Amino acid sequence: MTKLSLKDIILLGMTNFALYVGAGNIIFPPFIGLQAGDHVLPAAIGFILTGVGLPVIAAIALARVGGVLQYITIPIGIKLGLIMTVLCYLCIGPLYAIPRTATVAYELAITPFTHTLSYLPIYSVIYFAISFLFALYPAKILDTVGKILSPIKISALLILCLTAWFIKAGVSEIPNGPYVNEPFSQGVINGYLTLDTLASLAFGIVIVDAIRSRGINDRKKITHYAIISGSIAGLGLLFIYICLFKLGNESFNIANGSTNGAEVLAAYVNMTFGIAGNIFLGVLIIVACLVTAIGLTCACSSYFSKITKIKYRTYVIAISLFGTLISNLGLTHLIKVSIPFLITIYPMFIVLVLASFFTSFFNNAARVIAPPALLSLAFGLVDGCNSAGFHIIPEALIKILPLYDSNLAWLLPSFTVFVICFILDKFSAINKKSKTLSTTIKK
């Protein structure tokens, strides 16, 4: 096959979109909409900027290098790049996100009806058995996830979003907390903290493999279709977020006092659909989490099987069993370990992703990209240690930096170093040309 059919392109876009939308993507926007009140527009724009913009940019960046994350990390060195890539896949996969999808789905979808965690072992076995069966055949992901789970997930989301658009629960109220004075920056921070950019880097390999499974091996065409897929997913996320912000923003009368987005959603669907609404929301959350778990299992298994001699199937089995075990025994402790690592590597990957679009302008990419990337890693390490309770630098010393309270203290220093390195790179090239010209004239 030399090109994908329109049907395959739509399936690819639907699959990519479905992989992105987990429980967090569904429950964060309604709560922000509720809290932001009359300031919901700037809060939503800020959230979408980092919660949709960065993941789509990351997907495009990965598509440009054939879905191989290590190609993006080359400027910081092969060994360090490998370590950071492995950490990324471990944290966004079996050590954090995959087992968490099961427990979050259970707590939001099953617990409201059972009021107990005693059924979690049975639920998690069934959950990861289904995930295992779907992840076992990554080449068929367009025919399994794309044709079975994605339509269920997207249909449920459409019902929820269209209902939110046409059936109001009330009117917008005054903003609360930080949304009173800084709605835009607060939205930017919350979008950034979804960590969807890392998920995008993980899912890239799944999308590229899905394209190759249709017989497309030309790198330019793979990049082309991956960009289309990422754009479709981004537009889908944009639509979903707008509707969910609206839902939360108009739910003050029924959800005032809610402490999270799940409570806002539960109040709205209960008002709109009654008890059937709670069942509907439960099914939506389970399917949303399940598709994300399948995608992450495929991504991690595919990556680790390519850098080791162990078969893909073995990794799928190991990740599924590990997810089942951890979701029942030690997720809380595992999260305490994984989150600091995620916080540590996140800024560096954002720098690497953004810088990858400008490599053609550099004479020496490593000379320009490595310093700001490593600086952002250092800042990430400080934030990661702080989140783990270890203060390696006195807080009073680093707190003077702009955006420190928003976990974005790395941003301005990294950008400044990037600009300096870019200028030095240009001057170095000019000096080299001058010396070459001088030598030529002397000869």
SS (H, E, C) the chain: CCCCCHHHHHHHHHHHHHHHCCHHHHHHHHHHHHHHHHHHHHHHHHHHHHHHHHHHHHHHHHHHCCCCHHHHHHHHCHHHHHHHHHHHHHHHCCCCHHHHHHHHHHHHHHHHHHCCCCCHHHHHHHHHHHHHHHHCCHHHHHHHHHHHHHHHHHHHHHHHHHHHHHCCCCCCCCCCHHHCCCHHHHHHHHHHCCCHHHHHHHHHHHHHHHHHCCCCCCHHHHHHHHHHHHHHHHHHHHHHHHHHHHHHHCCHHHHCCCCCHHHHHHHHHHHHHCHHHHHHHHHHHHHHHHHHHHHHHHHHHHHHHHHCCCCHHHHHHHHHHHHHHHHHHCHHHHHHHHHHHHHHHHHHHHHHHHHHHHHHHCCCHHHHHHHHHHHHHHHHHHHHHHHCCCCCCCHHHHCCCCCHHHCCCCHHHHHHHHHHHHHHHHHHHHHHHHHHHHHHHHC
- Does residue 108 lie in a domain region? yes
Q: Higher model confidence: residue 115 or residue 285?
A: 285
The radius of gyration of the chain's CA atoms, rounded to the nearest angstrom, is 23
Within 13 Å and on the Cβ side, how many CA atoms surround 262? 15
- Sign for the CA dihedral angle at 415, 417, 420, 425 comes to negative
- Does residue 252 lie in a domain region? yes
Same domain for 174 and 83, yes or no, is yes
Tell me what pLDDT residue 432 has: 61
Same domain for 248 and 348, yes or no, is no
Tell me what pLDDT residue 73 has: 92
Same domain for 291 and 407, yes or no, is no
Percent with pLDDT over 70 in the chain? 95
pTM as predicted: 0.85
Same domain for 35 and 172, yes or no, is yes
Encoded tokens for 106: 């259970």
- Does residue 1 lie in a domain region? no
Planar angle of CA 156, 157, 160, nearest 5 degrees: 90
Percent with pLDDT over 90 in the chain? 36
Q: What is the CATH number of the domain that holds 56?
A: 1.20.1740.10
The pair phi, psi for residue 375, each rounded to 5°, is: -65, -45
- Does residue 350 lie in a domain region? yes
Exposure string over 44-54, b if 16+ CB within 10 A, otherwise e = bebbbebbbbb
Note down the domain range covering 266. 6-329
Lowest mean pLDDT among 150-159, 194-203, 362-371: 194-203
Mean pLDDT of 147-157: 89
Is residue 361 exposed (0-12), middle (13-18) or buried (19+ Cβ within 10 Å)?
Answer: exposed
* Rounded-to-integer distance, Cα 183 and Cα 383, Å: 23
Same domain for 358 and 388, yes or no, is yes
Tell me what pLDDT residue 443 has: 52
Tell me what pLDDT residue 437 has: 43
pLDDT tens column, 183-229: 888 888 888 877 788 888 888 888 888 888 888 888 888 888 988 99
Instruction: Please state, rounded to an integer, the average pLDDT across all residues of the chain.
Output: 86
End-to-end Cα distance, the chain: 56
Confidence of residue 133 (pLDDT cuts 50, 70, 90): very high
Domain count, the chain: 2
* Rounded-to-integer distance, Cα 370 and Cα 374, Å: 6
Tell me what pLDDT residue 32 has: 92
Tell me what pLDDT residue 127 has: 96
Lowest mean pLDDT among 66-70, 204-208, 401-405: 401-405
Mean pLDDT of 28-48: 91
**Has residue 1 got a pLDDT over 70?**
no
Mean pLDDT of 332-354: 84
Confidence of residue 22 (pLDDT cuts 50, 70, 90): confident
Mean pLDDT of 299-305: 93
pLDDT tens column, 71-104: 899 999 999 999 999 988 998 889 888 998 898 8
Confidence of residue 45 (pLDDT cuts 50, 70, 90): very high
Confidence of residue 431 (pLDDT cuts 50, 70, 90): low
**Has residue 164 got a pLDDT over 70?**
yes
Same domain for 383 and 428, yes or no, is yes
Same domain for 315 and 391, yes or no, is no
Tell me what pLDDT residue 19 has: 86
Same domain for 314 and 364, yes or no, is no
Same domain for 312 and 339, yes or no, is no
Same domain for 302 and 377, yes or no, is no
* Final residue before a domain boundary, out of 329, 346, 369: 329
Same domain for 260 and 349, yes or no, is no
Confidence of residue 331 (pLDDT cuts 50, 70, 90): low
Tell me what pLDDT residue 436 has: 56
* Final residue before a domain boundary, out of 329, 344, 364: 329
* Final residue before a domain boundary, out of 298, 329, 360: 329
Nearest residue to 52 via CA among 226, 242, 212, 207? 242
Q: Higher model confidence: residue 32 or residue 177?
A: 32
**Has residue 388 got a pLDDT over 70?**
yes
* Rounded-to-integer distance, Cα 317 and Cα 341, Å: 25
Task: State which amino acid sits at residue 200.
Answer: S
Same domain for 346 and 286, yes or no, is no
